[in-house]
Structure 1
Amino acid sequence: AFKLHGVTKEKKAELASEAEIFLGMDHPHVARLHDVYESGDQLTMVMECMEGGELFDRVAERKVFSEKDAVHTSWQMLLAVNYLHSCGIVHRDLKLENFLYERKDSDFLKLIDFGFSKIWAKNTKMEVSCGTLSYVAPEVLAQSYTSQCDLWSLGVIVFVLLVGYMPFGGSSERQQVIAIQSGKCGMKKDRWAKVSPQGLDFVKKLLVVNPEVRLTALQALEHPWILNRDVALEPGLGLDQSVADALCNFSRQTQFRQACMQLMAWSLNATERGEVRQAFLELDLNKSGKIKLSDLKKVLEAKSHVPEDESVQVFRALDANSDEEIFYSEFLAAMMTSRLALHDGLLKATFRRFDVQNTGFITRQDLSQVLGGAIKPDDVMKEVDTDHDGQISYDEFMAYLRNGCAQDHHVEAAEKVIDEALQVTEPSSGSAGAPPDASDSGPAVRLRKRDRLRAFLNDLSGMT
């Protein structure tokens, strides 16, 4: 929580920027920001529970990681960083303290703290000097840098994991700055003698003073040290037939049910996500944190013998906003059809997300706010509000989702209307995702799924 009393307008803008960036993050190795609340003089951010403590604490406990553990940890951090960079975001404060373990008995890491993060346009340079000195890249000190500054910071972290001390020291801050600017690491031969040549090469190619020569996140993921890691250390069952079946089942659901499942995906706990996230990472062949159509077709055909036309159908169902990418929460939504259990706790959490006004019922106003103006609340009420009192109770909501096959002729009639209302209006010109012209007299364009969820969370918290 942040106290807002006496906080300057600039600081409030920084907090709003952090919340906006954090809300948009959607990756297995980035911690989820569930809600943001503003009340009086306090801003509260509700992040998913990370019980395992900081990476810093584990380093302090172990002193030095085994090389197998170090490379596995580095791979997880790189997936998070590559995802950020693929979204045009620079973290600018990567350090041991900003990676948290999901549980004490787990080695699954997630990135946190977007206080210094910035949405960055390629081919431009940032000037604000920020971050923690021990991890700061030389070009940040020079106040002219790009997203490559994150790779230097990651190099410092990997250095510490492998040999147990910081690469750039000095008896004063000035001496430390000089060491960073020159790129001269303190190399203790007895420590590095225990590290493989590939591990040493990996660190050296990250701690390069010239950012244009330094490895990018994607190049680092393709380095032999990372590629040859022990995959047996990676958690999760991976892509099995049950995952393929869930993906195919999702494509057969109506759009209204798919929208409900997408909200459910944001209420899954860590254990539930842990059952299927390795499958998502397997489908993400280019390691951008998003699944491409070509990746989906390739993996489903190779592992589950799903025909190409069915793979395309699955992709189109998940990619309702037609940006040619499937995000993590969209993938999780598909798992709700058969791979993950539709239990009472999940239904209650989803119901609360629809119950924007916290009345214990879902009203027409709630439906309009959550699902957008293109859907007619009356059409939903006709099907779900079985006692015809003008609002949806929890029992009615649960019965609709659990007993969707009952009274098929009524369900199909109602959902046909909903599906027609939910059709995405394609922009008449310009790039994909470009906003329609203000003079467009056609149906209202639905917000992108991520944006709608973000807007919903903002409305829920009172932040608009």
Structure 2
Amino acid sequence: DVYQSEGRLDLVMECMSGGELFTRVQKRKRFSEADAATAAYQMLLAINYIHSHDVVHRDIKLENFLYESEESDYLKLIDFGFSKVWKKNTSMQLSCGTLAYVAPDVLMQNYSSQCDLWSLGVSVFIILFGYMPFSGSEDKQINDIKAGRYVVKKQYWERVSDVAQDFVKKLLLVDPLKRLTAEQALQHPFVVRRQAKTEEHLCAATVDALISFGTASSFRRAAMSMMAWSLTNEERSTVRQAFIELDQDNSGTVKLWEFKKVLLAKFHVKSEEAQVIFTALDTNNTDEIHYTEFLAAMVSTRISMHDDLLKATFDRFDVDKSGTITVNNLREVLGENFAGSDIDQIMREADITGSGDITYEEWIRYLRQEQGTEKQKDVAAQLIDGQLQKTKSEPKILQMKSAEFGKKGVAAGTVGKEAACCCCQ
């Protein structure tokens, strides 16, 4: 949320109540290799995402990764105070960051986005071995960092596998051109081995939610897109891993080729069908699906559309707090059009009484009962019928009669015991 007054601009961010990664390391002294690999993987996802959007953090450290909750192992990167939009093939000169984590090329005042990978190497070093790689006086630390001379305590290194040691060594290379990039680090055996042990979360219910979103009316998609910003951490966590499985190249977004590849391989969804769904999800027309757009699709079936969520989303559209949503409210929030649909047309879809605005009662009625036009229902029915024909013998696909679409919605069917996965239960 953003609140603007005459003298200030306030940003309200999500609450990460689990505390710093640094604090958890202090309590545990050191992580097991499996836990360290999981943490490294999550840190790399964040770094790879910002690097793919030409942003360099410049202050990667344990204190700048927060856990979602005390019970969670899910990390997020914070504190972009030193971050910079960076053009590839150019260098940065400003020395910034935290000395114990800073890269030698930063100290030399000639560096690129690779400085973040050195800092990640220091972070993983601490998690794995339980001590700082560079310590002592400021001058000693600077000299050791420039030389790539970190402390090796044999009694701690002997407990760690060669694969894990290799991962750290390839991040703590003085030459940034030889240092692993975020993309390369995600493919290192230390990280990949951890991924191989994870469960699959992309199940038939998720695909049905995507189909439902793809065939919904423009206003319904706009409303669900806004709802995505009001979801709690707990609600997001139910579908997070499914998005990560779609994101084949770990870039933080899902591209069309990834979307088609996964849906064809796992659910036999044809390329043309996947294209229709992808286009509906890509509300910003960026040729890629962002996490928020994916969450919007999940609101249709996978995440409960409860009263608090409906009210919070209504309030986001009701920007002037008049108690109704007007066409001007929609324009202020969505712009002149949304996903190719004119705002006036979107208003007509949801203005059930024709009064020119949308009351909260109309809002509730529309979102809880509206399931798209007859044409949209026919498209959805065809997609689902095609799925049923191809997957009669496959227990992992959600079995559903297309006739139920108009009455219950795409993902309103039941999941058989053998078809259920951990994200469907």
Q: 1:42 to 1:324 in 2, by over 3 A?
A: closer
SS at 2:95's partner residue? Answer: coil
Residues 267-293 of structure 1: CA deviation (Å, up to 9, x unaligned): 111111111110100010011011111
CA distance in structure 2 between the partners assigned to 1:300 and 1:253 by the alignment: 20
Q: 1:230 to 1:300 in 2, by over 3 A?
A: closer
Task: Assess if the C-alpha contact under 8 Å between 1:368 and 1:376 holds in 2.
Answer: no
SS at 1:392's partner residue? Answer: strand
Q: Which residue of 1 aligns with 2:16?
A: 50
Q: 1:178 to 1:356 in 2, by over 3 A?
A: same
Whether 1:88 aligns to 2:54 is yes
SS at 2:357's partner residue? Answer: coil
Q: Which residue of 2 aligns with 1:398?
A: 364
Task: Assess if the C-alpha contact under 8 Å between 2:219 and 2:346 holds in 1.
Answer: no
SS at 1:37's partner residue? Answer: strand
Q: What are structure 1's unaligned runs of at least 5 residues?
A: 1-34, 413-464
Q: Which residue of 2 aligns with 1:335?
A: 298
SS at 2:287's partner residue? Answer: coil
Q: What is the aligned-residue identity percentage?
A: 55
SS at 1:210's partner residue? Answer: coil
Residues 74-123 of structure 1: CA deviation (Å, up to 9, x unaligned): 01111111011111111111111110111111111111111111111111
Task: Assess if the C-alpha contact under 8 Å between 1:68 and 1:230 holds in 2.
Answer: no
Following superposition, the deviation at residue 307 of structure 1 comes to: 2.0
Q: Which residue of 2 aligns with 1:174?
A: 139
Counterpart AA for 2:300: T
Q: Which residue of 1 aligns with 2:187?
A: 222
Q: Which residue of 1 aligns with 2:204?
A: 241
SS at 1:266's partner residue? Answer: helix
Matches within 5 A, 1:157-172: 157-170=123-136, 172=137
Q: What are structure 2's unaligned runs of at least 5 residues?
A: 377-425
CA distance in structure 2 between the partners assigned to 1:39 and 1:322 by the alignment: 31
Query: How many residues end up aligned between the 2 structures?
Result: 373
Q: 1:153 to 1:386 in 2, by over 3 A?
A: same
TM-score relative to the length of structure 1: 0.76
Whether 1:203 aligns to 2:182 is no
RMSD across aligned positions (CA): 2.0
TM-score relative to the length of structure 2: 0.83
Residues 150-201 of structure 1: CA deviation (Å, up to 9, x unaligned): 000000000000111111112x211111111111001101010100001111
Q: Which residue of 2 aligns with 1:77?
A: 43
Q: 1:116 aligns with which of 71, 82, 92?
A: 82
Counterpart AA for 2:248: L
Deviates more, 1:213-222 or 1:107-116: 107-116
Q: Which residue of 2 aligns with 1:99?
A: 65
Whether 1:282 aligns to 2:248 is no
CA distance in structure 2 between the partners assigned to 1:383 and 1:317 by the alignment: 17
Q: Which residue of 1 aligns with 2:335?
A: 372
Whether 1:127 aligns to 2:116 is no
Deviates more, 1:242-251 or 1:222-231: 222-231
CA distance in structure 2 between the partners assigned to 1:372 and 1:41 by the alignment: 26
SS at 1:229's partner residue? Answer: helix
Following superposition, the deviation at residue 322 of structure 1 comes to: 3.6
Task: Assess if the C-alpha contact under 8 Å between 1:237 and 1:276 holds in 2.
Answer: no
Following superposition, the deviation at residue 379 of structure 1 comes to: 4.3
